[in-house]
C-alpha cells in the first residue's frame, strides 16, 4: 500500500446473449461483481427478486494464505442479468442488539463465514457461522436489513452459549436453512471428518420451531446419503426441492484433485438421500479451470427457471480479460493474487432430466439469459449493473440506524480519471422515452460528471450530468440532467464516470424520468417468412427467427455455447450468423450438429389436417446414447434414441404420432442425449407411412447466385428495420459500404436477404 492512500473507505474487492430480433452477441457477464472478492454464496427468491448473499475475501492481502472473513454482502435481480449490489448487510463487529449477561457478550460475532438464507412470511432469515465453532441466526424485514438476532434470548443457535451444541461433527459451520412448501423450516450445519463422524454423514439437521426463534431439539438427526462414490461429503450442505423431490447437495472438498458439488435425492426432507451425481464440477471453461481449493453453492427457482450460484477465481486468474483488482492491502503485483483466498461469485442456469436428476451445470462466461427487460423508471442502488469496470465501493455505516430500521448505504466510488470507468445495464426498455436522469451522491472534488451512453462506453451520448461538490463524503444531493434519444429497447446502456481524480464521487442511487410504458415484444417468426407445412419436410437448420425481447417465450432456440462450430465447413461463414447454433455444410446440404443435452430448436408449422402421422428424422452419429424428443406446443409428441457408427452415415428414424388440432403450432426438437447430426424432419399422413409418402417439398429458396435480384433488409440490434436495398444478379456490390451510406449511426447492423440465405452482420463506423 502506498503511504498516504486511504484504502479503508473502499470495499476492494455477462458474452451476454442479447437477442435482438435476428442475432445474439455480447460481453462476458460472470462474475456478478468484478470489484469485490466474494465467496460462499447462498440464494433465495420471492415473486419479485432473486437474492444472493455472499461473504467476502476483501479483507485479504494479495499473498494471503488464510481467510479473514468479516462481512456479508447482498445482491438482487429481477432479470438475472442486471444485479443490484446492496453492500454489506451484516458485519462481525455490528450485530445488534448486543446483550450482556454477567459481563459476557452473548451475541457478539468475531467471524462470518459461509451463510444460508431463506424467506418466510415476507421476512428474511440468515443463518451464519461464527468461524467453525458456532452458528447464529438473524432476521430482517428487508434483504439489506437492518438485521436483529432472531434467537430467543439473543443467544447463538448452535454451539457456544447456543440452544444446542455442535455435537460430534468435526466442523460446526456452513449452515443452511430451507423452508418447505408447507412452511416448515429446517436447518443443517457441519462438515469435516473425525473418528466419530467420517465424512459420509458429517451434517446435523434440526427442524426450526414455529416462531422461527430456535430449533426443536428432539428433531436432531444426521443427514444420510447412501451409495456415495469415492468422493465423500465434506462441507457446504444445502437443501432444495423440485417437483416434489428433495435434494441434499454438498461440496466434496479437495478430494480427487478438484472440488465438486454433488447431490442425493429423497422423497422426504429428512432423507435418507441416495447419491445421484454431480451438480457442478470444478468450474472450468474450454478446459481451463477457474476454480481453486474449494467450492460452495446455493440453488433457487425463479420465474420458472432454476439457478445455481457458486464461487470461482475468475478475477484473481484474470480470466477472459477481467481486470485484476487490488487486494485489501492495495497491492497489484505482476503475479495474480492468491486465488485460493480471492474468490468471485458467478451464476448459471441449472436443468433437470425427465426423471428429476440434475444435469451437470455448464459453466459459462455469459451467465443466465436475461428473462425480462430492465425498467429504467424505478429507483436503483447506484451499483446496479450487468458489468462494471474501473469502479470500487464502500458501505456507509454513518447513515445506518438500526433502531429506526434504516440499513447502511452502499456507495459507488468510481475511478473517474480513467477513460474506462463505467457500469453497464443490459436490455433496457425505455418505452415512449426518457426525458431526464437523476443521480444522487456526494462529491469531494470539482468537475466530476456522469455521462449516459448507448452501445458502448464511448457510444452515442444521451446526456451528461455534472455532480455537485458537497461538504463531505456523507453529504448526498440530487443531480439531474436532460437526456435525448432514449426510447424503445436499448441493448446496452453505459453510465460513464469522468473527473480529474479517482474515487472522489460517492453515488448511492439513480433513476430515469420519462413517459415510461413498455415497447411491445415481437414474437418469433418462421424462417423465410412462411411456416413449414405438415405433412411435409422441415430442414433442421431453418429454425425460427427469434423474437425481439427477453422473455423466454420469445426465443426460438437454445444452444449451450455461443460459438458456431460448423462455420469452418462453410468457409468460415455461419449459415445462421449470431445464433451460435452449430450448422455444418455436408454433401446433403446444411445440417445441425454438435448437439448437446438441453439444446433445442423451434419451428413454426402449419398442420393442414388433424389426425395420425408418421414423423421421420434423418440423423447421423457414432454415439450409443444420443437422442432427442419432439413436442408440439409444449406437449410430448415423440421420443427418439439414435445409434450409429459415423457422422457421415445418415439414417432415418421414425415414430407414429397423433396431432389433434389443425392450424399453426410450434414444433420443438430437444436434445436428450448428446452428439448427433440432424438433417431434416418430415411428416407423412397416416400411421406406419413410408418416407416416400412425404409430400414433395417446395423448391428450395434460390440462393443469391441463382436469383435475378436480391433485396436486403437492414436491421439495427433492436430488431427495427432501418433500410433496404436491392442488388441485381451479377453486380459486384460492397455490402458494407452500401449499409454505411444508408444508416445514420455507427454500430452493428444485420443484413437479411429475401432469398432465405444467411443473415450477415455489418459493423459501421462513422
- Specify whether 441 is located in the same domain as 555: no
Among residues 646, 671, 693, the one where a domain terminates is: 693
Any domain includes 2 = no
- Specify whether 507 is located in the same domain as 541: no
Average pLDDT, the chain: 85
pLDDT in tens, 533-584: 999 999 999 999 988 766 666 789 988 777 888 888 888 888 888 788 999 9
3-class DSSP assignment, residue 257: helix
Any domain includes 360 = no
CA distances to 43, 186, 582 from 183, rounded to whole Å, are 18, 10, 46
Q: Which of 293, 275, 272, 476 is nearest to 358 (CA)?
A: 275
Type and span of the H or E element at 664: strand 663-673
pLDDT in tens, 469-486: 999 988 999 999 999 999
Long-range CB contacts for residues 291-294, cutoff 8 Å, separation at least 24 = 291/258, 291/259, 292/339, 292/340, 292/343, 293/254, 293/259, 293/340, 294/235, 294/251, 294/253, 294/254, 294/259
The model's confidence at residue 400, banded by pLDDT at 50, 70 and 90, is low
CB 447 within 8 A of CB 426: no
Mean pLDDT of 314-322: 82
* Cα end-to-end distance, the chain, whole Å: 44
Q: Which of 143, 135, 130 is nearest to 44 (CA)?
A: 143
**Cis omega (within 30 of 0) on the bond before 146?**
yes
CB 136 within 8 A of CB 156: yes
CATH number, domain with residue 594: 2.60.120.260
pLDDT in tens, 322-370: 877 777 766 665 566 788 888 999 999 999 988 999 999 999 988 999 9
Any domain includes 665 = yes
- Specify whether 556 is located in the same domain as 461: no
3-class DSSP assignment, residue 437: strand
460-466 sheet: strands from edge to edge = 387-389, 422-429, 489-498, 449-454, 460-466
- Specify whether 636 is located in the same domain as 747: no
* pLDDT of res. 8: 29
- Specify whether 458 is located in the same domain as 561: no
To which residue does cell 443490484 refer? 84
To which residue does cell 456452513 refer? 174
Any domain includes 375 = no
pLDDT exceeds 50 at position 521: yes
Among residues 449, 479, 514, the one where a domain terminates is: 514
pLDDT in tens, 679-690: 999 999 999 999
* pLDDT of res. 363: 92
**Lowest pLDDT segment from 433-447, 451-465, 657-671, 727-741:** 727-741
Among residues 450, 479, 514, the one where a domain terminates is: 514
pTM across the whole model: 0.75
Any domain includes 369 = no
- Specify whether 147 is located in the same domain as 265: yes
Q: Work out the percent of the chain whose per-residue pLDDT is above 70.
A: 86
215-222 sheet: strands from edge to edge = 176-179, 185-190, 203-208, 215-222
pLDDT in tens, 154-201: 788 999 778 899 988 899 999 999 999 999 999 999 998 887 777 778
CA–CA gap between residue 22 and residue 171 (Å, rounded): 53
* pLDDT of res. 221: 93
- Specify whether 463 is located in the same domain as 604: no
Total domains, the chain: 4
CA–CA gap between residue 629 and residue 600 (Å, rounded): 9
pLDDT exceeds 80 at position 403: no
- Specify whether 74 is located in the same domain as 208: yes
Any domain includes 363 = no
Domain with 614, as residue range(s), is 527-693
271: left (phi over 0), alpha (psi -120 to 50) or beta: left
Across 455-502, where does the E strand assignment appear? 460-466, 477-482, 489-498
Type and span of the H or E element at 434: strand 434-443
* pLDDT of res. 109: 78
Amino acid at each position: 500500500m502506498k503511504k498516504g492512500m486511504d484504502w479503508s473507505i473502499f470495499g476492494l474487492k455477462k458474452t451476454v446473449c442479447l437477442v435482438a430480433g435476428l442475432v445474439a452477441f455480447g460481453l462476458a457477464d460472470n462474475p456478478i461483481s468484478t470489484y469485490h472478492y466474494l465467496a460462499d454464496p447462498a440464494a433465495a427468491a420471492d415473486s419479485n427478486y432473486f437474492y444472493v448473499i455472499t461473504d467476502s475475501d476483501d479483507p485479504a492481502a494479495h499473498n494471503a494464505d488464510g481467510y479473514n472473513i468479516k462481512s456479508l454482502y447482498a445482491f438482487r435481480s429481477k432479470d438475472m442479468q442486471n444485479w443490484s449490489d446492496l453492500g454489506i448487510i451484516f458485519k462481525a463487529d455490528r450485530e445488534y442488539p448486543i446483550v450482556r449477561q454477567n459481563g459476557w457478550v452473548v451475541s457478539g460475532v468475531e467471524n462470518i463465514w459461509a451463510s444460508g438464507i431463506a424467506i418466510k412470511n415476507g421476512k428474511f432469515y440468515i443463518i451464519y457461522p461464527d468461524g467453525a465453532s458456532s452458528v447464529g441466526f438473524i432476521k430482517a424485514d428487508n434483504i439489506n436489513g437492518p438485521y436483529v438476532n432472531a434467537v430467543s434470548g439473543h443467544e447463538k443457535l448452535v454451539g457456544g452459549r447456543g440452544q444446542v451444541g455442535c455435537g460430534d461433527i468435526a466442523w460446526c459451520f456452513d449452515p443452511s436453512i430451507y423452508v418447505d412448501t408447507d412452511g416448515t423450516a429446517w436447518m443443517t450445519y457441519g462438515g469435516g471428518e473425525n473418528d466419530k463422524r467420517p465424512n459420509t454423514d458429517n451434517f446435523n439437521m434440526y427442524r426450526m420451531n414455529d416462531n422461527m426463534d430456535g430449533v426443536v431439539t428432539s428433531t436432531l438427526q444426521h443427514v444420510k446419503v447412501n451409495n456415495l462414490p469415492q468422493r465423500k461429503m465434506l462441507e457446504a450442505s444445502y437443501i432444495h426441492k423440485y417437483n416434489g423431490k428433495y435434494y441434499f447437495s454438498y461440496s466434496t472438498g479437495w478430494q480427487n484433485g478438484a472440488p465438486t458439488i454433488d447431490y442425493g435425492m429423497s422423497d422426504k426432507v429428512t432423507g435418507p438421500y441416495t447419491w445421484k451425481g454431480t451438480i457442478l464440477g470444478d468450474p472450468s471453461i474450454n478446459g481451463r479451470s477457474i476454480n481453486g481449493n474449494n467450492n460452495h453453492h446455493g440453488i433457487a427457482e425463479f420465474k420458472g427457471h432454476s439457478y445455481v450460484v457458486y464461487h470461482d477465481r475468475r478475477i484473481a486468474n484474470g480470466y477472459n480479460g477481467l481486470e485484476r483488482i487490488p487486494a485489501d492491502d492495495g497491492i497489484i503485483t505482476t503475479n495474480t493474487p492468491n486465488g485460493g483466498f480471492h474468490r468471485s461469485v458467478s451464476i448459471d442456469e441449472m436443468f433437470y432430466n425427465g426423471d428429476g436428476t440434475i444435469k451437470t451445470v455448464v459453466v459459462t462466461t455469459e451467465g443466465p439469459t436475461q428473462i425480462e427487460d430492465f425498467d429504467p423508471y424505478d429507483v436503483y442502488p447506484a451499483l446496479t449493473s450487468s458489468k462494471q469496470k474501473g469502479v470500487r465501493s464502500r458501505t456507509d455505516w454513518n447513515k445506518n440506524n438500526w433502531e429506526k430500521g434504516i440499513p447502511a448505504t452502499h456507495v459507488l466510488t468510481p475511478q473517474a480519471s480513467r477513460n474506462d470507468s463505467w457500469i453497464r445495464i443490459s436490455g433496457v426498455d425505455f418505452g415512449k422515452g426518457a426525458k431526464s436522469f437523476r443521480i444522487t451522491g456526494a462529491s469531494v472534488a470539482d468537475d466530476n460528471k456522469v455521462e449516459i451512453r448507448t452501445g458502448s462506453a464511448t457510444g452515442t451520448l444521451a446526456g451528461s450530468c455534472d455532480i455537485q461538490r458537497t461538504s463531505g463524503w456523507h453529504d448526498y444531493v440530487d443531480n439531474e440532467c436532460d437526456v435525448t434519444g432514449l426510447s424503445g429497447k436499448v441493448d446496452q446502456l453505459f453510465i460513464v464516470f469522468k473527473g480529474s481524480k479517482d474515487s472522489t464521487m460517492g453515488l448511492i442511487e439513480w433513476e430515469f424520468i420519462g413517459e415510461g410504458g413498455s415497447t411491445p415484444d415481437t414474437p418469433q417468426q418462421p424462417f423465410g417468412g412462411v411456416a413449414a407445412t405438415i405433412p411435409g419436410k422441415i430442414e433442421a437448420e431453418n429454425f425460427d427467427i427469434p423474437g425481439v425481447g427477453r422473455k423466454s417465450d420469445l426465443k426460438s432456440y437454445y444452444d449451450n455455447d455461443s460459438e458456431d462450430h460448423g462455420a469452418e465447413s462453410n468457409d468460415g461463414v455461419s449459415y445462421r450468423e449470431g445464433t451460435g447454433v452449430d450448422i455444418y455444410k455436408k454433401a446433403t446440404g446444411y445440417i445441425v450438429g454438435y448437439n448437446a443435452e438441453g439444446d433445442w430448436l423451434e419451428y413454426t408449422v402449419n398442420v393442414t389436417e388433424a389426425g395420425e402421422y408418421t414423423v421421420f428424422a434423418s440423423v447421423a452419429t457414432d454415439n450409443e446414447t444420443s437422442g432427442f424428443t419432439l413436442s408440439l406446443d409444449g406437449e410430448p409428441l415423440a421420443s427418439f434414441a439414435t445409434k450409429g457408427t459415423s457422422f457421415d452415415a445418415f439414417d432415418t428414424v421414425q415414430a407414429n404420432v397423433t396431432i389433434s388440432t389443425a392450424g399453426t403450432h410450434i414444433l420443438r426438437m430437444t436434445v436428450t442425449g448428446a452428439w448427433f447430426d440432424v438433417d431434416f424432419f418430415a411428416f407423412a399422413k397416416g400411421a406406419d407411412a413410408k418416407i416416400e409418402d412425404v409430400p414433395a417439398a417446395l423448391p428450395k429458396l434460390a440462393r443469391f447466385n441463382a436469383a435475378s435480384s436480391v433485396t436486403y433488409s437492414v436491421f439495427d440490434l433492436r430488431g427495427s428495420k432501418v433500410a433496404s436495398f436491392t442488388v441485381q444478379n451479377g453486380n459486384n456490390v460492397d455490402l458494407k459500404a452500401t449499409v454505411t451510406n444508408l444508416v445514420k449511426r455507427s454500430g452493428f447492423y444485420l443484413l437479411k436477404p429475401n432469398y432465405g440465405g444467411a443473415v450477415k452482420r455489418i459493423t459501421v463506423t462513422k
